[in-house]
Amino acid sequence: ELICKNNNLEREIIKLSDTVKNTQPRMFPLDNLMLILDKEIQSLSYKKQLTKESATQILEVFRDRLKLDLDALVESGIEWIKDGDFIVIHSIEENIEHLIPAAKKKGIKFKILLLQQDIVTTEQILIILNENQIDFEVIPEYDLVHYVDKITKLFLGTQSLTNDDYLICDPGTSNIVSECHIYNIPVLLFLKTLKFSHYSSKDQNILKNHYQDKYKGIEYNYSIHSNDIIQLKLIDHIITEKGEVPLEEISIIREQVLLEFN
């Protein structure tokens, strides 16, 4: 609900848009949707047609688009899950929330190897797997090497695909991708094309947290980044709502997608 006076509407919407576009890290696909919102709001304002109702209609179009893209991505993704698969996951992404449960409902027989992270993230995934009666096993991230002869695929989501071909992913993803790459385990990326970023990997507002900690009287500085950065060339299959996209065609699709935001 938009709560402000009509004469302040454009200013308040732009303020909201700027806030979303400056989060740490950047939030895709919302970042791109805000660019579209800016253009639409400026156009309506110029025509003196900007109202709370017209602004709400734009947001409703965004909501419907996100749902359609997600449904199409899940439909494309299910084709990559086969009977007997032993699939590695480690973060709470759309492929976990929607794709994996949808494959289970289709009757596909597979198992998940969940790499344990912080308790909050792991708990969310456990709830989804348990509620959908999906067979799974949990191990620490560093124990993956003992399963490389059993697992069949690694499934990934991403926060964005940068314009210099890097993925912005959850912490720990880089090590997992590297290990799977070494052992020739296929790495599958699932993303909406709305997550194609017009920014470079160095301009994704990745947050570095640092603070002083202490252990048995020893004080030290502790630092951690909000996200990992992964080279796109390490991905074996890139699945979007439009189906699989070959690596060599990513630049073409990026140009088509980003044209909408310029």
Domain stops at, among 50, 69, 88: 69
Mention every residue, 6+ apart, whose C-beta is less than 8 A from residue 84.
109, 110, 152
118 or 103: which leads in pLDDT:
103
Are 134 and 36 found together in one domain?
no
Average pLDDT, the chain: 89
Whether residues 86 and 100 share a domain: the answer is yes
Q: Please give the pLDDT value at position 149.
A: 95
- Read off the pLDDT band of 5 (50, 70, 90): low
pLDDT per residue as tens digits for the range 114-166: 998 777 778 889 999 999 999 999 999 899 999 999 999 999 998 889 989 99
Q: 135 with 215, same domain?
A: yes
Q: How confident is the model at residue 1 (pLDDT cuts 50, 70, 90)?
A: low
Shared domain check, 77 and 54: no
Q: Which amino acid is residue 76, in one-letter code?
A: S
pLDDT at 9: 84
Mean pLDDT value across residues 75-88: 96
Tell me, yes or no, whether 1 lies in a domain. Answer: no
pLDDT, one tens digit per residue, over 22-72 is 877 777 888 889 999 999 998 888 888 888 889 889 999 999 999 999 999
Q: Which of residues 47, 69, 91 is at a domain's end?
A: 69
Residue 152's CATH number: 3.40.50.10470
Q: Could you tell me if 213 and 139 lie in one domain?
A: yes
- This prediction has a pTM of 0.86
Q: So what's the pLDDT on residue 92?
A: 76
Confidence at residue 2, expressed as pLDDT on a 0 to 100 scale = 55
Residues 149 and 247 in one domain: yes
Same domain, 16 and 79: no
- pLDDT band of residue 104 (cuts 50, 70, 90) is very high
3-state secondary structure of 64: helix
Same domain as 35, residue 159: no
Is the pLDDT at 4 greater than 70? The verdict is no
**Structural domain tally of the chain?**
2
| DSSP secondary structure of 74-99 | HHHHHTT--TT-EEEE-S--HIIIII
Residues 206 and 102 occupy one common structural domain: yes
Range of the domain at 193: 73-259
Least confident of 3-12, 63-72, 170-179, 253-262: 3-12
Q: Is residue 105 in a domain?
A: yes
Question: Judging by DSSP bridges, how do beta strands 86-89 and 243-244 pair with one another?
Answer: unpaired
The alpha carbon dihedral of 102, 227, 25, 201 has a sign of negative
**255 and 220 co-located in one domain:** yes
Rounded CA gap, 47 and 61, in Å? 20
User: According to the model, what pLDDT value does residue 161 have?
Assistant: 92
Q: From 46, 69, 92, give the residue that closes a domain.
A: 69
